[in-house]
Structure 1
Amino acid sequence: MKFIADLHMHTTASTHAYSSLQEMVDAAAQRGLSAVAITDHGITMPGAPGKWYFHNLRVVPHRFHGVLVLRGQETNIIDYEGHIDVEQECEEDLDWVVASIHSVCMPQGEQPSPEKVTHLWEQICRNPRVNVIGHCGSPEYAFDYERVLPQFAAAGKLVELNESTFRTRLDYVPNCRRIMALCKKYRVPIVVDSDAHFSTLVGDFSHTQALLQELDFPEELVVNSSEERLHTYLAEYTRAFATPND
């Protein structure tokens, strides 16, 4: 399976990543990708950039070195009601939002349960700003997959298969395999992302591709496996448009 875009990555603005925005886009161009999303962490992540970073993403061209550049954020889910940390004054500056659970950004001292996390994701389904359900295979934050995954599909949320999980979150992998099998069963669209924190990792999908092959996952459900599928999604669900000229 071929992937034409990498829609979750971090730059030095996140302070625990090590390549600049331009270096990440250059790496994508060198690997023959046609689109990227720059998704630095929302403000509640320790070391994250402030709101002015996201507000000023408007200066980044949508086309650079032949690559479509989506101005985005990996927003943090900050409670069990599904609130996120995209600041209101930055919303119109973002083309692409990945919503993820990071335990450091969640209420401390409150134990997660499958019921709470299921409710959390159902609230995210109702948020039109969210495009991608980020690395949701955490065993700590497990939820009712069979109940929620079809809701993601109905709401236009893409379930992410995250390459970085196979390097840094190995305890997530069994749940990721189960989630992908259920996405196949229920015809839930997905997106395959590197979650790169260094330019050499942009467009590296070796582990995720192996899992999709193992599951005989339908290519037509992988939104970033073709230009047509990606542009159709962008036109329907985002403020970006298929061929931006700025």
Structure 2
Amino acid sequence: MCLVADLHIHTVASGHAYSTVLENAKAAADRRLALIGITDHGPNMPGGPHEYHFANLVALPEVLYGVRVLRGIEANIIDQNGSLDLPDERLSKLDVVMAGFHSESFTAGTVEENTAMLINTIKNPWVDVIVHPGNPALQIDAEAVVKAAVEYDVALEVNNSSLVRSRKGSRPYCGRIIQLAKQYGAKMIVGTDSHFALHIGDFSEALQLLAENDVAPDAMLNSSVEKLLAHLNRRTNRLNPVV
């Protein structure tokens, strides 16, 4: 296994996923992952959990089946300013904050508007990772977004699900972002965006796309626990360091 962590994982709490925390942790252990993130959708997603769900993630054990479990969110971008659908008070207590565009929570605009929205999200001091930036439903100036990610030290996700079962047509857009990230030195992370336990740790299509663009897996943040935690702990507003 060249990647040791999968941060983009949903549970039944997301409203349209089909596995529990225990089932996900067991699947990660079977895949020999060292670390996972429980990153359910934010409250603005139809069927998504109330914000109290994220407050009570402290109830989760830190380790399940030998796998370290990070408490997180895939927050929804809800306006042009890059605002997220969880209050800062809640975000400050999470181990990982992923953020992305979902048409259920915000309507895409022009290329210029979409680019500004995503850059504002990158500037948001709570955000660790921008998820599925290669979504073809969100046309952007990819070069401007990648440059902003470098400036504000936010990672860009290569989303395996976008290449397999969701966001059809993502592949060329994802490839473009990978090339730009390679050119400008942006941090990248691979996520499965799993909505069912058996998809956890299956990075195959993302790894193939990285190989096609001459990017080695060890360039990904989740190629080592140490590299990943160093990224998460760069945030000075985090209530507690991630260990």
Say yes or no: TM over 0.5. yes
**Displacement of 1:93:** 2.8
Structure 2 counterpart of 1:224, which letter? N
What per-residue deviation string (whole Å, max 9, x for no partner) do you get for residues 104-154 of structure 1?
1014xxx61111111112211221111110101122311111122021022
CA contact (8 A) 1:74 1:97 kept: yes
Q: What secondary structure, in the 3-state scheme, does the structure 1 residue paired with 2:158 have?
A: strand
Instruction: Decide which of 114, 117, 122 is 1:120's aligned counterpart.
Output: 117
2:146 equivalent to 1:146 = no
Structure 2 counterpart of 1:121, which letter? L
In 1, the alpha carbon distance for the partners of 2:80 and 2:55 equals 27
Q: What secondary structure, in the 3-state scheme, does the structure 2 residue paired with 1:171 have?
A: coil
Q: What secondary structure, in the 3-state scheme, does the structure 2 residue paired with 1:236 have?
A: coil
Q: Number of aligned residue pairs: give it.
A: 240
What per-residue deviation string (whole Å, max 9, x for no partner) do you get for residues 190-219 of structure 1?
000000001100000110010011111144
Query: So what's the TM-score if we normalise by structure 1?
Result: 0.92
Instruction: Decide which of 165, 173, 176 is 2:171's aligned counterpart.
Output: 173
What per-residue deviation string (whole Å, max 9, x for no partner) do you get for residues 66-102 of structure 1?
2221100110001122111013442233111111101
Q: Which residue of 1 aligns with 2:39?
A: 39
In 1, the alpha carbon distance for the partners of 2:88 and 2:206 equals 34
In 1, the alpha carbon distance for the partners of 2:173 and 2:94 equals 30
In 1, the alpha carbon distance for the partners of 2:88 and 2:223 equals 32
Q: Which runs of 5+ in 1 are unaligned?
A: none
- Cα RMSD between the aligned structures? 1.7
In 2, the alpha carbon distance for the partners of 1:200 and 1:219 equals 21
- Could you tell me the percent identity over the aligned residues? 40
Structure 1 counterpart of 2:52, which letter? W
Q: Which residue of 1 aligns with 2:232?
A: 234
CA contact (8 A) 2:132 2:162 kept: yes
In 1, the alpha carbon distance for the partners of 2:154 and 2:180 equals 15
Within 5 Å, which residues of 2 pair with 1:94-105?
94-105=94-105
In 1, the alpha carbon distance for the partners of 2:138 and 2:242 equals 35
CA contact (8 A) 1:156 1:237 kept: no
In 1, the alpha carbon distance for the partners of 2:161 and 2:193 equals 6
In 1, the alpha carbon distance for the partners of 2:120 and 2:162 equals 24
**Displacement of 1:221:** 3.1
2:204 equivalent to 1:206 = yes
Q: Which runs of 5+ in 2 are unaligned?
A: none
Q: Which residue of 2 aligns with 1:158?
A: 155
Query: So what's the TM-score if we normalise by structure 2?
Result: 0.93
Q: Which residue of 1 aligns with 2:223?
A: 225
CA contact (8 A) 1:41 1:76 kept: yes
2:93 equivalent to 1:93 = yes
Deviates more, 1:189-198 or 1:210-219: 210-219
Q: 1:58–1:3: structure 2 CA closer, same or farther, 3 Å change rule?
A: same
Q: What secondary structure, in the 3-state scheme, does the structure 1 residue paired with 2:117 have?
A: helix
**Displacement of 1:62:** 2.0
Instruction: Decide which of 178, 193, 196 is 1:195's aligned counterpart.
Output: 193
**Displacement of 1:24:** 0.6
Q: What secondary structure, in the 3-state scheme, does the structure 2 residue paired with 1:104 have?
A: coil
What per-residue deviation string (whole Å, max 9, x for no partner) do you get for residues 154-209 of structure 1?
21211000011012222122111111111111111100000000110000011001
In 2, the alpha carbon distance for the partners of 1:231 and 1:55 equals 21
